[in-house]
Amino acid sequence: MKFAVIVFPGSNCDVDMYHAIKDELGEEVDYVWHDTESLDQYDGILLPGGFSYGDYLRSGAIARFSNVMDAVKKAASQGKPVLGVCNGFQILLEAGLLPGAMRRNENLKFICKTVNLKVANNETMFTNAYGKDEVIAIPVAHGEGNYYCDEHTLQKLIENNQILFQYAGDNPNGSLQDIAGITNETGNVLGMMPHPERAVSDLLGSADGLKLFQSIVKQWREQNVVTS
């Protein structure tokens, strides 16, 4: 499986994402600059964290207009897995690929620590390697991770099982319904604030994030059986 790590001016977690895919997952991966117009050669798209375009206006608001986002939308419409982490999640929200919006953390401070997440739905391309309601340890590092949506949108998220991850015990940012990660209705676009790419080895303090990437590869291989 071949992944693209999208790099925007201000991305600072692109190297972490690249390392997670190449060295821990053992799959192909390329850095792809924000002005790229085609992602047809890639099987999975990864939008890393950071401060794209300096977070001017608001997080993700400028990055959504980058050339590459048309290609990201095309990949999403084709059913390819698209993962946005932290700032990547914010960009997916701004681009309309996921519902809702991101607000400043409730305490108005930048938060950087490991938190516990509950796997609320383990029957997706991103979570099939986890157990239902499994609690995992994943780091967060953000100032605007307070997810919000209106009541109608929240009800749809619940009814469609689009909430994949919820903060367990300690909600670090005030996010609605303890939401830490959601998908689109078709289940192939995931946005999450915690950083699974920073939890892919016991040397990092947790390997719980590796299962997310393994889940993607597992489903991709099942859908793309190579015959010799």
Q: List the domain range (segments joined by +) for residue 18.
A: 2-223
Residue 228 lies in a domain: no
Section 179-184 average pLDDT = 98
Using DSSP bridges, classify how beta strands 135-142 and 111-119 pair: parallel, antiparallel or unpaired: antiparallel
Torsion of CA 159, 61, 75, 87, to 10 degrees: -80
Nearest-Å Rg of the Cα atoms of the chain is: 16
The domain total for the chain is 1
Residue 215 lies in a domain: yes
8-38 pLDDT per residue, tens:
999 999 999 999 999 999 999 999 999 999 9
Residue 130 lies in a domain: yes
Calculate the CA 172 to chain-centre distance.
Answer: 18
The answer on pLDDT for 177 being more than 90 is yes
Could you confirm whether 123 is annotated as catalytic? no
Strand, helix or coil for residue 55: helix
* Whole-number Å distance between alpha carbons of 33 and 71: 12
Could you confirm whether 86 is annotated as catalytic? yes
- pLDDT recorded at residue 227: 41
CATH code for position 69: 3.40.50.880
* Whole-number Å distance between alpha carbons of 213 and 227: 23
What mean pLDDT, rounded, does the chain reach? 96
Catalytic residue, from 27, 94, 144, 197: name it.
197
- pLDDT recorded at residue 226: 55
Alpha helices by DSSP H, listed for the chain, are 14-19, 68-77, 87-94, 151-159, 210-223
Residue 156 lies in a domain: yes
128-153 pLDDT per residue, tens:
999 999 999 999 999 999 999 999 99
Confidence of residue 57 (pLDDT cuts 50, 70, 90): confident
Could you confirm whether 34 is annotated as catalytic? no
Catalytic residue, from 13, 27, 144, 195: name it.
195
Q: What is the pTM of this model?
A: 0.96
Catalytic residue, from 86, 94, 142, 149: name it.
86
